[in-house]
Amino acid sequence: MSEPLLRVRDLQVEFRLSGGTLRAVDSASFEVGRGETLGLVGESGSGKTVALRAVVGLLPRTARITAGTVEIDGTDVTAAGEDRRRALRGTTVAMIFQEPMTALNPVMRVGDQIAEEPMVRLGQTRRNARTTALELMRLVGIPDPRRRADAYPHELSGGLRQRVMIAIALSGNPKLLLCDEPTTALDVTIQDQILKLLQRLQHELGLALVFVSHDLAVIAQTCQRLAVMYAGQVVETGAVADVFREPRHPYTLGLLRSVPDFDVVRAQLAAIGGAPPDLAAPPHGCRFHPRCPFVQNDCLDGGIPLFDVGPGRAARCLHHDEAAADARREPVIANA
Amino acid sequence: MAVAAEAVADAQVFEHRRGFARRWYRTPSFVGGVSILGLIVLAALAAPLITNHGPTSQDLLHTLQGPSSSHWLGTDDLGRDVWSRLVYGARTDLKVAFLAVLFPFAIGTLLGLVSGYYGGWIDAAVNWLVNVVVAFPFYVLIIALVFALGSGTRNIYIAITIVGWVSYTRIIRGEVLVAKRRDYVLAAKSGGLSDARILFRHLLPNVVTQAIVFACSDIVLDILAIVTLGYLGLGVQPPTPDWGRMIADGQTYLTTHWELSTVPGIAVVFTALGLSLLADGLADLLRPE
Amino acid sequence: MPESLLELDGLHVHYELRGNLGRRVRRQEAEVLRAVDGVDLRIAKGETLGLVGESGCGKSTLGRAIVGLCDPTAGSVRYLGETLTARRERARRRRIQMVFQDPYSSLNPRMSVRQTLAELLRAHRMVPKQAVEARCRELLELVGLGPRALDAHPRQFSGGQRQRIAIARALALEPELLIADEPVSALDVSVQATVLNLLEDLREKLGLTMLLIAHNMAVVRHVADRVAVMYLGRIVEEAPTDELFTNPRHPYTQGLLRAVPRLVPGRVSETAGVVGDPPSPIHLPTGCRFHPRCPIAQEPLCSTEDPALAKGPIAGHSAACHFAWTERPAAHVPEVIEETS
């Protein structure tokens, strides 16, 4: 069993606010092996974006990693200095973002932006870097690369901008690609194109992928494994097919039931009552218990650890059988 | 049934951002501004209580005296108590400046609302007017107008209004152009609410904050204008005490009794500082979320 | 044939773009953005019509033209036979109300919930003055919020709650037609279900007719009786919901449905549902608007003749494609990919 490319253990991230500190991520653990794809699923406030940014060291100044470790390709980046982290960024691990318009430099031609990393970090000459950039543009499916390389970001459509961003991310030959909701702001057909592009790239280049999204269907299409986050904690992990067929955490179950599925038309969508907790004052015991249909007395004492519930599966629930039984009774997916 | 369940679970309306009332004491610029200004305003209001001489009573036997127990800041060339003139001068200048800001604020805001909301020829006409006024430097125009109209407080108001409405119109118009596309304005329109209602109930409260912040710094400009006019003999007329007048009167004695001009000058600077800090603080606090 | 509540006939909404100096100097015509470019639509009383399409297709503009927030450039909006423009009287405005997409900008941040609701009730004299407060409570109860919400301001609510308040506001005037413009797109997944369920409940309870504008096909499948697909300002296909999803006839609809990600995990086909980027609504393709991206486009027919929305053999199902009801030509690489590689 080879060393995982990314190993996050008990990660804790806190924000310093005017009123006190807010723990946005509380003991999150997940792993990604070489060439594997992991989905990080959660709604707003779940901490998934913060966790992702913590991995690559792109937290805002008010936030700090207060506990846990992040290992990328064997290096402990939480203990290492900023220089080490910067060396890894772009070369070993790269990131693509949700809003290409803000992630791209508006006053630099896109060809130059793609060529920047090869020129500066990999030491290529200007001409070689330019060739590399054109190749990358072809790789990501940008039509007519020679002409498009001279365009500015605002002259391109949303889909093309996203492809440019992917090209930039790939320009340093990374092994791990972190994707922060890269298709959320895109139209369905463009999202489809980008997801299929990522799939193809992942195959051809052997990339490992961490894909953050709130869209379960997108995760289903893109990832082999997933980690579900709620209120700053990882509450369930496992292979996507297994988790969808037999979710072991009531939140995962509720989420699966509340999503309007294309193929299964349910009479009424089962919503999860209540609202996500205020992270400044999370509930005692299990954070999901106020909204949980299977809640029992012991759910209120103390923190709930992640239990092993099968090979490669874990769930942060004392009564994880309940969720699984409910899913068996009334399957969530048509033919998982 | 799902709805009912949510009603129960959702019964709590959570309070998640504190409003103005709870944040003001944590904003240093606001606190600073209010403190300085508060001090000056308090002094101005309590003028009779903190002075033991009238601002206009002359004492020709004791002219140009230095600070003493009877005259805390000494006397000027006509034997008038400098401290008293300073404090009563604050009354005059602050009052005039405040009133002088009110008219441009009101007129400018109204024009900005209307031109931003309706566009078309109203907007074109207002913009043209704005460009005409803006072509002239602020102080030059005011001084020229007061010179033409004659000195006195009433003409100060007129001059400042004629020149000053422009900034408010521009600010408000800009805000309205953005705000009128917000969904809640569209909802009000599709709900059949009258234009007047939309302008004053939906747009005005949401666009006026920038104008209020600007008004605070505008008062500073107005105070400077009034003081300048006073210095030039065009503004507030004697015997009413006025900082500008004081600076002008003390000019002749700059080498011997420099405090006669400098003290009112420092007072102007302090007031301006207080107002600027207040403007800063308000800008921070008045943002709706 | 159920009575039509709403009829759109040849509706066009065009925006003239302010010509830049270059164009003015060259005395060229200003460019026109054809947001809605010839739409015929009928909505029957009591039905929910889903209107889907991607950005730039004109669905939001269509919604606004119906609710009276913008004027048609040509064609008409008729409600129960009466033509409506953007300048409609208060009494007419009551009949059609809208729920907007962004819960964070659809409520006036400086007004309490009570003020927002009461303002409308009073302006239209929906209930006598003494009954306004009670009616506000009723409206909130309808959407599942307690009376304590009346005194609160929008910033104190979550996205889902704000959307419910927006729905309450839309219902305050007791409309017959409710236009929901992407009502759940800006909400979290689990909250979407709440709001969708609410809309369903209300539709039944109040006998509302609804136009649901959405880009999420799964949502539309759950809620709508009929679906119309828009592309570049026109309706390209229209059918009862199940029929559309099981038997789409227009290549765009087919591609769109293929592009929707499914919850069934595992590898799906490597090719994208629809290739290329949507063209700009300012420079429309000749002939059929979809032909550059169409896998079955045939020269010279598809680049010269614009197909009209034609009824097929199946009841209520029409599509705007030369080959919608005939034998499909073989698939090939669409023009948009060919010309640029």
Distance from CA of B207 to the nearest CA of A (A): 27
With an 8 Å Cβ cutoff, are A291 and B16 in contact? no
Does C254 contact chain A (CB < 8 Å)?
A: no
Cβ-Cβ contacts under 8 Å, C196 against chain A: 260, 269
With an 8 Å Cβ cutoff, are C100 and B205 in contact? no
The beta-carbon neighbor of B183 closest among C90, C100, C149 is: C100
Q: What are C58-74's pLDDT values in tens digits?
A: 999 999 999 999 989 99
Does B287 contact chain C (CB < 8 Å)?
A: no
With an 8 Å Cβ cutoff, are A217 and C337 in contact? no
Does B15 contact chain C (CB < 8 Å)?
A: yes
With an 8 Å Cβ cutoff, are C120 and B186 in contact? no
Cβ-Cβ contacts under 8 Å, C219 against chain A: 260
The pLDDT confidence band at residue C327, using thresholds 50, 70 and 90, is: confident
Nearest-angstrom CA–CA distance, A208 and B72: 80
Of C50, C51, C41, C52, nearest in space to C4 by CA: C41
With an 8 Å Cβ cutoff, are A221 and C265 in contact? yes
**Residue A11 backbone phi and psi in degrees, to 5:** -70, 135
| pLDDT over threshold 90, residue A198 | yes
CB B96 within 8 A of CB B156: yes
With an 8 Å Cβ cutoff, are C262 and A335 in contact? no
Whether ipTM tops 0.90, in short, is no
- Report which of residues A237 and C333 the model is more confident about: A237
Q: What is the pLDDT of residue B2?
A: 36
Q: What is the pLDDT of residue B12?
A: 36
| pLDDT over threshold 60, residue B14 | no
Helix (H, G, I), strand (E, B) or coil at A47: coil
Terminal alpha carbon distance of chain A: 28
Q: What are A135-177's pLDDT values in tens digits?
A: 999 999 998 899 999 999 998 888 899 999 999 999 988 999 9
CB C165 within 8 A of CB C106: no
| pLDDT over threshold 70, residue B15 | no
Q: Which chains contact B through at least 3 pairs of Cβ atoms less than 8 Å apart?
A: A, C
Window 21-40 of A, Cβ < 8 Å to B? none
Q: What is the pLDDT of residue C341?
A: 41
Q: What is the pLDDT of residue C250?
A: 95
Does C33 contact chain A (CB < 8 Å)?
A: no
CB C108 within 8 A of CB B184: yes
Window 191-230 of A, Cβ < 8 Å to C? 191-193, 195-196, 199-200, 214-218, 220-221
The beta-carbon neighbor of B14 closest among A18, A273, A278 is: A278
| pLDDT over threshold 50, residue C25 | yes
The pLDDT confidence band at residue C87, using thresholds 50, 70 and 90, is: confident
Weakest-pLDDT range from A28-32, A189-193, C330-334: C330-334
With an 8 Å Cβ cutoff, are B8 and A273 in contact? yes
With an 8 Å Cβ cutoff, are A270 and B9 in contact? no
With an 8 Å Cβ cutoff, are B13 and C149 in contact? yes
With an 8 Å Cβ cutoff, are B10 and A274 in contact? yes
The pLDDT confidence band at residue B5, using thresholds 50, 70 and 90, is: very low
| pLDDT over threshold 90, residue A39 | yes
With an 8 Å Cβ cutoff, are C262 and A266 in contact? no
Average pLDDT estimate for B116-128: 93
For all residues of chain C together, what is the average pLDDT?
A: 89
Q: What is the pLDDT of residue B1?
A: 33
With an 8 Å Cβ cutoff, are B7 and C146 in contact? yes
What percent of chain A is modeled with pLDDT above 70? 97
Q: What are B231-255's pLDDT values in tens digits?
A: 888 877 777 888 888 888 888 888 8
Window 64-93 of C, Cβ < 8 Å to A? none
With an 8 Å Cβ cutoff, are B6 and A270 in contact? no
- Is the preceding peptide bond at C300 cis, omega within 30 degrees of 0? yes
With an 8 Å Cβ cutoff, are B16 and C100 in contact? no
Weakest-pLDDT range from A332-336, B68-72, C304-308: A332-336
Distance from CA of C178 to the nearest CA of B (A): 12
Window 138-177 of B, Cβ < 8 Å to C? none
Strand partners, A75: A72
Average pLDDT estimate for B85-101: 87
Weakest-pLDDT range from A98-102, C10-14, C58-62: A98-102
Cβ-Cβ contacts under 8 Å, A221 against chain C: 261-262, 265, 268
For residue C108, the chain B residue with the least C-alpha distance is B184
Q: What are B200-225's pLDDT values in tens digits?
A: 999 999 999 889 888 988 888 888 88
SS (H, E, C) chain C: CCCEEEEEEEEEEEEECCCCHHHHHCCCCCCEEEEEEEEEEEEECCCEEEEECCCCCCHHHHHHHHHCCCCCCEEEEEECCEEECCCCCHHHHHHEEEECCCCCCCCCCCCCHHHHHHHHHHHCCCCCHHHHHHHHHHHHHHCCCCHHHHHCCHHHCCHHHHHHHHHHHHHHCCCCEEEEECCCCCCCHHHHHHHHHHHHHHHHHHCCEEEEEECCHHHHHHHCCEEEEEECCEEEEEEEHHHHHHCCCCHHHHHHHHHCCCCCCCCCCCCCCCCCCCCCCCCCCCCCCCHHHCCCCCCCHHHHCCCCCEECCCCCCEECCCCCCCCCCCCCCCHHHHCCC
Q: What is the pLDDT of residue C2?
A: 58
The pLDDT confidence band at residue C266, using thresholds 50, 70 and 90, is: low
| pLDDT over threshold 60, residue B157 | yes
| pLDDT over threshold 80, residue C197 | yes
Per-residue tokens: A308: 């092993």
Q: What are B16-41's pLDDT values in tens digits?
A: 344 555 677 777 888 888 899 899 98
Q: What is the pLDDT of residue C113?
A: 95
The pLDDT confidence band at residue A182, using thresholds 50, 70 and 90, is: very high
Q: What is the pLDDT of residue C267?
A: 59
The pLDDT confidence band at residue B10, using thresholds 50, 70 and 90, is: very low
Average pLDDT estimate for A183-204: 91
| pLDDT over threshold 70, residue A1 | no
Q: What is the pLDDT of residue C18?
A: 72
| pLDDT over threshold 90, residue A334 | no
Q: What are A234-274's pLDDT values in tens digits?
A: 999 999 999 998 999 999 999 988 888 777 666 667 778 77
For all residues of chain A together, what is the average pLDDT?
A: 88
Q: What is the pLDDT of residue B6?
A: 37
Q: What are B40-62's pLDDT values in tens digits?
A: 989 888 888 888 888 888 888 87
| pLDDT over threshold 70, residue C48 | yes
| pLDDT over threshold 80, residue B9 | no
Nearest-angstrom CA–CA distance, A74 and A58: 19
Nearest-angstrom CA–CA distance, A335 and C92: 49
With an 8 Å Cβ cutoff, are B206 and C106 in contact? no
Nearest-angstrom CA–CA distance, C113 and C165: 8
The beta-carbon neighbor of A275 closest among B2, B8, B10 is: B10
Q: What are C228-260's pLDDT values in tens digits?
A: 999 999 999 999 999 999 999 999 999 999 998
Distance from CA of B6 to the nearest CA of A (A): 5
For residue A275, the chain B residue with the least C-alpha distance is B10
Cβ-Cβ contacts under 8 Å, C124 against chain B: 192
Average pLDDT estimate for A174-191: 91
Nearest-angstrom CA–CA distance, C50 and C227: 5
The pLDDT confidence band at residue A2, using thresholds 50, 70 and 90, is: low
Distance from CA of B3 to the nearest CA of A (A): 9
Helix (H, G, I), strand (E, B) or coil at A27: strand
Q: What is the pLDDT of residue C193?
A: 86
Q: What is the pTM of this model?
A: 0.85
Q: What are B124-134's pLDDT values in tens digits?
A: 999 999 999 99
Cβ-Cβ contacts under 8 Å, B26 against chain A: 18
Does B16 contact chain A (CB < 8 Å)?
A: yes
